[in-house]
Structure 1
Amino acid sequence: MTEATHDDRHPMTGNRTDAGVDTGIERHEYDVVVIGAGGAGLRAAIAAHDAGARVAIVCKSLLGKAHTVMAEGGIAAAMGNLYADDNWRVHFRDTMRGGKMLNNWRMAQLHAQEAPERVLELEEWGALFDRTADGLISQRDFGGHRYARLAHVGDRTGLEMIRTLQQRAVDLDIDVFMEFTVTELFRDPSTGSGGTGGRISGAFGYWRETGRFVVFESPTVVLATGGIGKSYQVTSNSWEYTGDGHALAMRAGASLINMEFVQFHPTGMVWPPSVKGLLVTESVRGDGGVLKNAEGERFMFDYIPEFFKKETADTIEEAEGWYTDKKNHRRPPELLPRDEVARAINSEIKAGRGSPHGGVYLDIASRRSPDFIRRRLPSMYHQFKELADVDITQEPMEVGPTCHYVMGGVEVDADTEQSIVEGLYAAGEVAGGMHGSNRLGGNSLSDLLVFGRRAGHNAAYHSMRTKQRPTVSAEQVKAASAAALHPFEVEGGENPYTIQTDLQDVMQRLVGIIRTEAELRDSLAEIERLKERAKRLSVEGHRQYNPGWHLALDLANMLVVSECIAKAALERQESRGGHTRDDYPTPDDGWGALNLVLTLPSDSDSVDLKHQPLPVMPDDLKTLFEES
C-alpha cells in the first residue's frame, strides 16, 4: 500500500507535531479526552474545563452535527411552570415506572433532582426557550410523564441545546478534533485496579480525511458516543451510531448492562424509502396528534395496559379523545410510554390494518389549525413537505416504529459515571442504567446534561488527583496501527458494505421489536458467521477519503454490540419495556430484579454474560410508589 506524503502540521491548528519523532504519528497530551460532541460530550467537556482540566473533544463528524439535534420534543425537567404539583419526586416516579422499575434508582433520582438546574443553566448560556403567558419556560406533555414538563424550543429543542453548548465550548477555547474516529483505548497495565487491571492511559484514532494516526495521552477518557442504531435496517439514528463507545469500553475491560433493551420509537417516517425511519417527534402527539389505522379507527384506546387502567378514573372519555387519571388530569392514550405505543402500532400493522406503505396514520391536521401546526411544529411541517410531499396541516402522516435508542450501555457508578475501569467514564446514551428497560421521551436530553456534567467534573478531578500519569507504550501504538490497517492487507476479501447490509437484515428480522427464542438463537449463529467473514474484510485504495475503510473499522464495533443485544435478549425470558419476547409475553418479578452484565474477555472474541442483582432502592423512595 502506498502512502501519500503529508505535512507535519495539525490539520486544524497548524501547529507543528512530533511526527518526525514517532514515525509520523501525531501525539497530544490532555487531562481529559471526551469522545463525542453531542449533548453529553459537550456538557462533559465544559464541566471538565470549569474544573481546571486541559480538555479535548473528539467527534466523528463536524462540530454541531451531533445526533442530539434529532431530539426535537423537549428537555424533561420538573420545573413546575405549568403544574405547580410537579416536582422531582413525581418525575423520579414516572421515570422508574416508565423503565419498568429496572432503572438504577440512584441515577433516576439524581436525574430528576438536577434536571431543572441544568435547564436554567442552558438558559443562562443563551438558549431561547418557548415561553408561557407569564414569561416562564414553556413545558409540554410527553408520553409517560404525569405532568407537562418538557422545556422546549418549538420542535427544534435538540438543535438549540447543541447550539448553546457548542457556543459555550467555543467561548472556552476547548480543543476540538472534528471528523476523527477513535479505534482503541489504551491502558497502562502497571497502574490501577479497574476491570482486568490497569487504568486508562489514552486513546488511538485517525483523521477521517487523511487517514493519519493520532495518539492521545490522557489519564481519563469520557465516552459520549451515543447509540447503536446503524446495526438495524430501519432507524432514526445518524451514520455515526455504530456502537463505537460500547465496543471501545468492552475492549478496554469495562462491562455493559442490559443491552437487550432497544427502544423502537413509535413514529418514524415510512415513505419515501430514502427517509424510512427518520424520526417524527413525539411533539406531534404531545400537541394533539392522534394515531389511526387504515380503517380510520383511533386504535390506541384498545391498547391501554392494565397498569394504566388502574391509574384512570371510572370512565374513559373516548369521544373526547382522552382518558382521565386519578388526579383528574386528562391524557391521550397516544402519550402512553413509547414501548406501549410501538407495540400497538406493530400489532395494527401485523393485523392488516396498516397504511399503504406499511405504517399507520398520525393525524394532527383534523385537530389543530394550520397556523398552530406551523408555529408549534415547523421542522415536522418542512420535513414532510420537502421529503414526502405531504402537507401535515392538510393530511395525515404515515408512520411506523423505528430503532431509536438503546437503554443498555456501559455500567457506571451512579454518582461519578466512572466505569469499572479506572479513568474511563461514560455519559448519555452510551451509558446504561438510567432508563431501565424503557426511556421516557424528553428524559434523553436532561440525561445528557445531568450526567454529562457529572462525568466531566469527576474525570477532571480524577485526572488532577493522579500523581503519576499512566503511559502509552510504543508496542501499544504499533499494535493499534496494525489492527487499523489490517483491511488493506487482505486481497480479494469481503466487502464491508455487504457485511453491514447482512448484519442489518439479521438484527431487523431476528432481534427486532418482537422476539422469540428460535429467532434469537438463529441471530447469534448468523452473527458468528458474520464475525468470521469480517476477519476477511478487504479494502482497496488509500487511507485518504476512504469510506470503505471507515466502515470496515466500524463493523468490528457493530458486530460485538449486536452480539451483546442478541445474547442478552435470549437470556432474559420475560417481556419488559423495550424487550418483548413472544414466547414470554409478560413481565417476571424474578427477572425484574436482575441486570444482565456483558463483558469481553481479553483472550476471546465472544461475549460473556452474567446475572447481577439490581441495586436496592431505599425505603424512603419506595414510599413514593405507594402514592396515587
Structure 2
Amino acid sequence: MTEIDAYDSYDVVVVGAGGAGLRAAIEAREQGMRVAVICKSLFGKAHTVMAEGGIAASMGNVNSGDNWQVHFRDTMRGGKFLNHWRMAELHAREAPDRVWELESWGALFDRTKDGRISQRNFGGHEYPRLAHVGDRTGLELIRTLQQKVVALQQADFKRSGDYESGLKVFQEYTVTRIVKDGERVAGVFGYQRESGRFFTIAAPAVVLATGGIGKSFKVTSNSWEYTGDGHALALLAGARLLNMEFVQFHPTGMVWPPSVKGILVTESVRGDGGVLRNSEGKRFMFDYVPEVFRGQYAESEAEADGWYADPDKHRRPPELLPRDEVARAINSEVKAGRGTPHGGVFLDVSSRLPAEEIIRRLPSMHHQFKELADVDITREPMEVGPTCHYVMGGVEVDPDTAASPAVPGLYAAGEVAGGMHGSNRLGGNSLSDLLVFGRRAGLHAARYAAGLTERPTLERAQLEAAAAEALAPFDEGAEHPYALHQELQQTMNDLVGIIRRAGEMKQALDRLAVLRRRAEAVAVEGHRQFNPGWHLALDLRNMLLVSECVARAALLRRESRGGHTREDWPGMDRDWRRVNLVCSLTDDQLAVERQANPPVRADLLELFDRSELAKYFTPEELADEQE
C-alpha cells in the first residue's frame, strides 16, 4: 500500500496562491470555514506578481465620466461580444469595491495630485481606468493579500493559540488529482515537491486558481508554473473547458537577447505615451485599425498625440487598440520584412517623456532592459514582439457563483476560469477579474460546504490509482520529459500560434496524439526528492491535454475573432458569436461540442449604438435579444 500523508480535513481547499486564490481563501475564511491553500511555488512567488500595468476599475478618479456601464461596454467590445455578459457585468460593477478594499487592507497605490488613487490609460479602455503602483502593481496586490492572510492567522491564534487552525498554506505542493465521492468533490491528491511524498486533503469544496497554460508555447511571458494544471484537473474531474481556442499573444514581449525572449513589456509603456515604429521609422498602427473600431481611434499622428493632452477633443492613439489587434499588426509588419534586426518592432517612449518621468512611471521596465538587454529606454527604443500571455478560455463556471455546473463542489476563478473575457482580454481586467471572482468563488464555496448535511468521503482506491499514475515515470521507459516538452512547445508555436490554418492545426493534432502516446513511456531517473524531471513528466499530462483542447477548438471555429486568427477564415462571422465551444474528456478521449452563447440582457444592449451591434449580431438575433 502506498504511503500517503493525510492532513486534517478542511472545508475549502484553494489550489493556487496568486491573486484569485488568496482572495478566495480570505473570503472563505471570513465566512468561518477552515481553509487550505496549496501553492506550487513558495508563498508570494505566484505569477500574479508579474502583473505590471494596473487593476481596471471604473472609479472615475482621473475622468469623472467613467462608470461601470462604460467599463462593461469596453470589456464586451474587447471580447468581440463573446463574453458571458453576466460575468462582464459583475466584474464592471464590483471592481471599484475590490480596489478600495485592497486600499483598506494596506495597498499603497500611486496617487493623483488631490490624493485619490491614480488611474492610467490602457488599450481598449475609453478612460484612464487602471489603478497602479508604478509598473509593479501585481507585486503590491500579492503583498497586500498575503498580509491579510497573516492578519487572519493572527486572529485565529488569539482565539485558539494556533496560527494555522483556520487557514493553512501548503508551500511547494502540487495537486495531481481532484478526488471525488460519486459526482461531487471529496478532496485533492498530490505530492510535496521537496520530499516527493504524497499527500491528500479531504474537503467538500475545491477552488481552482492555478492561472494559465503558457508553458505549452515556446515564447511566453508566463512563469514556470503555468502548465495548465487547473484546466487539466477540471477536465479529469468531469468539468468542461470553454472556448479554449482563444489564446492572447501580448503584443510587446522582449525579443532580445534570446535568453529573455518573451518577457513582458508592460502595456503601461504605450498607455503613458510610447509609440510603435517599424524598421523604416514609420508609426504603422494607423494602417491596422479594424473596421469595427473606425471612428474610435485617431487617423493621424497629430490627432493621436493631441489625445494625451486633451482626451475629450481627440480620439485614442491606435497603439491603444486591444491587444489582439496590436499583436496581429506587429506580426504583419515583421512578416512583410519591416521588422527590427531581431524580429520585432520598435517601442519608443524615450522621445515622448523626460528620462526622470520614465524612471518614475516605469521603474521595472527601465531596470529590466538596462540589466537584461543593455538598453536604456530613456534614450533608445525597445525591441518588442508578440508573446503568449493569457488564455481567455477556461473552466466553465456559473457567472454568479464561480461553480462548475458539472461537478458539485468545484469552483474556478482567475485565468483558469472561462467566459469573462470572451475572445480577447483587455489589459488590466485580469487583476480586477481575479479579485471579483476570487471573492465570489471563496464565498460560494464556503456556503456550499456549510450547507452540506453529509460530507463526502475519500476513497482509498482513487488515492492508490493517483499514486500509481504519479509513480509511472519511474518505471522503465524510453522518452525524456524535456525533449517531449520542447517538441510540444515547438508544435504549438509553429502550428497553433498567432496565425492559424486548417492544414497546420490538423498536423498539430496528429503530432499531439503521438506526443500523448510517447508521454506514456516517459522515464525519469533518481528519486522523488525534488526531482525536476519527474515534476515536468507529471506536468506534461496537463499541457498535452490542454494543448489538444486549444487545437481542436481552433480547428472547429471557422472565423477570426479576438485571440483566434484563421488565415483561411479571415473574417469575423456574426453567426459564430452565438457559439461557445466546450471541451470535455470521456474515457481519455477529448471532444469539442458547440453550445449556445447566452443572450445578452436587453438593458445592457441598450448601452451600445445599434449600428455597432449590427457588426456582431445578425438582425434576427438582435431583434430576439432586444425583446
Return the TM-score normalized by structure 2.
0.93
Where do 1:447-596 residues align within 5 Å? 447-489=433-475, 491-596=476-581
Cα separation, 2, equivalents of 1:446 and 1:47: 16
Deviations 1:37-79 (A, max 9, x none): 0000000000000011000100000111111111100000000
Range moving further from structure 2, 164-173 or 507-516: 164-173
The aligned residue for residue 621 of structure 1 is: 604
Contact 1:488 / 1:540 at 8 angstroms: preserved in 2?
yes
Tell me how far 1:626 sits from its aligned partner: 2.0
Tell me how far 1:329 sits from its aligned partner: 4.4
Counterpart of 1:609, as a letter, is: V
Contact 2:4 / 2:199 at 8 angstroms: preserved in 1?
no
Q: Does 1:612 align with 2:612?
A: no
Where do 1:365-376 residues align within 5 Å? 365-376=350-361
The aligned residue for residue 117 of structure 1 is: 97
Where do 1:142-161 residues align within 5 Å? 142-161=122-141
Cα separation, 2, equivalents of 1:154 and 1:38: 20
Contact 1:311 / 1:326 at 8 angstroms: preserved in 2?
no
Go from structure 1 to structure 2 and tell me whether the alpha carbon gap of 1:212 and 1:522 turns closer, same or farther (over 3 Å shift).
same
Contact 1:139 / 1:150 at 8 angstroms: preserved in 2?
yes
Selected match of 1:445 from 427, 431, 434: 431
Q: Does 1:383 align with 2:368?
A: yes
Cα separation, 1, equivalents of 2:524 and 2:538: 10
Deviations 1:248-276 (A, max 9, x none): 00000000000000000000000111110
Contact 1:597 / 1:610 at 8 angstroms: preserved in 2?
yes
Cα separation, 1, equivalents of 2:315 and 2:296: 11
Unaligned runs of 5+ residues in structure 2 are: 154-166, 613-627
Selected match of 2:221 from 220, 228, 236: 236
Counterpart of 2:301, as a letter, is: E
Selected match of 2:301 from 311, 315, 318: 318
Cα separation, 2, equivalents of 1:424 and 1:252: 9
The aligned residue for residue 195 of structure 1 is: none
The aligned residue for residue 282 of structure 2 is: 297
> Secondary structure, in 3 states, of the residue corresponding to 2:593?
strand
Contact 2:84 / 2:420 at 8 angstroms: preserved in 1?
yes
Cα separation, 1, equivalents of 2:227 and 2:306: 40
Contact 2:296 / 2:316 at 8 angstroms: preserved in 1?
no
Where do 1:21-170 residues align within 5 Å? 23-170=3-150
Go from structure 1 to structure 2 and tell me whether the alpha carbon gap of 1:418 and 1:157 turns closer, same or farther (over 3 Å shift).
same
Cα separation, 2, equivalents of 1:396 and 1:285: 12
Contact 1:225 / 1:245 at 8 angstroms: preserved in 2?
yes
> Secondary structure, in 3 states, of the residue corresponding to 1:412?
coil
Cα separation, 2, equivalents of 1:532 and 1:566: 17
> Secondary structure, in 3 states, of the residue corresponding to 2:180?
strand
Tell me how far 1:477 sits from its aligned partner: 1.0
Contact 1:45 / 1:57 at 8 angstroms: preserved in 2?
yes
Counterpart of 1:188, as a letter, is: D
Contact 1:323 / 1:332 at 8 angstroms: preserved in 2?
no
Return the TM-score normalized by structure 1.
0.93
Cα separation, 2, equivalents of 1:517 and 1:113: 40
The aligned residue for residue 266 of structure 1 is: 251
Cα separation, 1, equivalents of 2:520 and 2:306: 55
The aligned residue for residue 173 of structure 2 is: 180
> Which runs of 4 or more aligned residues in structure 1 lie more than 6 Å from their structure 2 counterparts after TM superposition?
323-326
Deviations 1:167-195 (A, max 9, x none): 11122122100111000001101xxxxxx
> Secondary structure, in 3 states, of the residue corresponding to 1:161?
helix
Q: Does 1:393 align with 2:378?
A: yes
> How many residues end up aligned between the 2 structures?
595
Cα separation, 2, equivalents of 1:113 and 1:531: 43
Cα separation, 2, equivalents of 1:316 and 1:230: 38
Cα separation, 1, equivalents of 2:306 and 2:186: 55
Contact 1:322 / 1:330 at 8 angstroms: preserved in 2?
no
Contact 1:316 / 1:322 at 8 angstroms: preserved in 2?
no
Cα separation, 2, equivalents of 1:473 and 1:228: 30
Cα separation, 1, equivalents of 2:501 and 2:457: 47
Selected match of 1:200 from 178, 185, 197: 185
Cα separation, 1, equivalents of 2:523 and 2:196: 16
Tell me how far 1:323 sits from its aligned partner: 8.0
Counterpart of 1:128, as a letter, is: L
**Could you tell me the percent identity over the aligned residues?**
68
> Secondary structure, in 3 states, of the residue corresponding to 2:554?
helix
Selected match of 2:411 from 422, 425, 431: 425
> Secondary structure, in 3 states, of the residue corresponding to 2:606?
helix
Counterpart of 2:425, as a letter, is: R
Cα separation, 1, equivalents of 2:68 and 2:11: 34
> Secondary structure, in 3 states, of the residue corresponding to 2:24?
helix
Counterpart of 1:361, as a letter, is: F
Counterpart of 2:446, as a letter, is: A
The aligned residue for residue 351 of structure 1 is: 336
Contact 2:303 / 2:314 at 8 angstroms: preserved in 1?
no
Deviations 1:130-169 (A, max 9, x none): 0001110000000000000000000000000000001111
Tell me how far 1:467 sits from its aligned partner: 1.1
Tell me how far 1:322 sits from its aligned partner: 4.2
Tell me how far 1:23 sits from its aligned partner: 3.5
Counterpart of 1:139, as a letter, is: Q
Contact 1:234 / 1:277 at 8 angstroms: preserved in 2?
yes
Tell me how far 1:26 sits from its aligned partner: 3.2
Cα separation, 2, equivalents of 1:347 and 1:449: 35
Cα separation, 2, equivalents of 1:593 and 1:146: 26
Cα separation, 2, equivalents of 1:330 and 1:625: 18
Tell me how far 1:618 sits from its aligned partner: 1.1
